[in-house]
Structure 1
Amino acid sequence: MNSQSKLTRPEAMIFDMDGTLFQTESVLLPAYHKLFDTLRSEGLYTSPTPPEERMLGSLGMLLEDIWKVVMPDGSQEAHNRANELLLQLELEGLAGGGTLLYPEVKTTLESLHQQGVKLFVASNGLEHYIDGIVETHELVELFDGLYSAGKQGTLSKVDLVKMLLEQEKLQSAWMVGDRSSDVEAGKKNGLGVIGCAYAGFGNHDELKGSDVLISSFPELLELYKKAIPNT
């Protein structure tokens, strides 16, 4: 754990999903390869499948922006079809079993929930994808709300977190995530930011500006315990 400042104990924690709670590659990579096989079979894409690293490095972006990075040579029709296929294939993968949360995510969330911390998800992903992960891994009862760009129609993580804070009438919260978009969303909304340095999808500068960096999810419990109580 790398602590740069003393945090105030929050009434809520807001979590990114991919690379923070959920080991995205456990469902994404099989779906990714099937997606491009399908695009080629449908005549919408003729090039080889782009490197996996290009997709993993784009996690945290809005889906429409991901395809511009992953297959810039693809048509708008191919991008639109890729949106449909990715959700379909990921939901099939979740239903098929074998997908993974990061170690001790569920027990850590249960402990925070029992201590009265309100828990939320704020993700740039699609609504049914986020719902699918939460349902598959039996986390439904732990969360007070699931916010996603796909459901809320926001154009940035900053806007999504702002909407969450306003709708839930939260006075204090920590933003917990693994990408620069999470850091930006937390800082621009006046939140403490916990950077998750265990996923390894982004570059070394992704989490610059975080208040604290953690190398495993359960470290949140100690951070919460040591935080300055709200007066």
Structure 2
Amino acid sequence: MFDGLLFDLDGTLWDSVDAICLSWNSVLERRNPQLAGLVTRENVTGCMGMLLPDIVKKLVPDIPKEEIRPLLDELLVVENDYVATHGGVLYPQVEETLECLSRDYPLFIVSNCQAGYIEAFFQAHGLGQFFKDFENPGRTGKPKGDNIALVVQRNGLKNPLYIGDTQGDYNAATQAGVPFLHAAYGFGHIDHEVPHVDAFADLPAAVERLSPP
């Protein structure tokens, strides 16, 4: 059996795009009214899986380089507060499926997000009880592949599985030497055939099917 399941967050456990758009636009409009409505669902979903400074550079391309970090810090504080209060949209049957999976496997989250974002997800939806550990580049300064390896190492996992929705998730899991299951209902796609699920509720059967002998 797998001895641990590691999850991506955005596009795998929930859809928080609308919350991100609202919180980021509030900051941008306050800084410059001409930036009102700049962040849209379409351009945010096109950035899923990217590191946060790269997302800012893509969404606000005219920003001077020296202003990226201060703007990003403000955006993320407002985003965490908004997400913790308002939450996002959980994919169907996430809570019931996590409860089922947690009976047989320790669960973890590794996401390319800022410090405090996973905690905001837990606060908004009360799902922290199902997860043993989590990691992100906001805490470690490391890319996702390194953070996957870090969670695997510090939890003594020998046969983990990573579940994510983007090509970047697949690449990070591969870098860390961890098998990958594609959440095909999410934001991304994989450029070649890999095991996948079309709904979150399909995970228990898929994990059992893929478990090493």
Question: Is the shorter-chain TM-score for this pair beyond 0.5, marking a shared fold?
Answer: yes
Deviation per CA, 1:44-102: give whole Å up to 9, x if none.
xx556535222221121111111121112111344223312322222332343353211
1:226 equivalent to 2:209? Answer yes
Identity %: 26
Equivalent residue number for residue 215 of structure 1: 198
- Is 2:183 the partner of 1:196? yes
Name the counterpart of 2:15. Answer: 23
Opposite residue 164 of structure 1, the aligned amino acid is V
In the alignment, the residues of structure 1 paired with residue 183 and residue 27 of structure 2 have an alpha-carbon distance, to the nearest angstrom, of 29
Query: For residues 134 and 31 of structure 2, what CA distance do their matches in structure 1 show?
Result: 31
Q: Distance in 2 between matches of 1:39 and 1:178?
A: 33
Q: Which residue of 109, 113, 118 corresponds with 1:121?
A: 109
Q: Is residue 126–residue 148 contact of structure 1 (8 Å, CA) maintained in 2?
A: yes
CA distance in 1 between counterparts of 2:166 and 2:6 reads 14
TM-score (norm 1): 0.83
Residues 29 and 36 of structure 2 are in contact (CA less than 8 Å); yes or no, is this contact kept in structure 1? no
Letter in structure 1 aligned against 2:10: D
Pick closer, same or farther for the CA change 1:228–1:99 going to 2, 3 Å.
Answer: closer
| CA-CA distance at 1:191 after TM superposition | 1.9
Tell me by how many angstroms 1:229 deviates. 5.1
The count of aligned residue pairs is 212
* Paired position in structure 2 for 1:37: 29
Which aligned segments of 4 or more residues in structure 1 are displaced greater than 6 angstroms?
none
State the TM-score, normalized to the length of structure 2. Answer: 0.90
Gaps of 5+ in 1: 1-8
Question: Whose helix proportion is higher, 1 or 2?
Answer: 2
CA gap of 1:78–1:40, structure 2 versus 1, over 3 A, is farther
1:74-223 correspondence runs (5 A): 74-97=63-86, 99-115=88-104, 117-154=105-142, 156-200=143-187, 202=188, 206-209=189-192, 211-223=194-206
Structure 2 residue runs of 5 or longer lacking an equivalent are none
RMSD value, Cα: 2.0
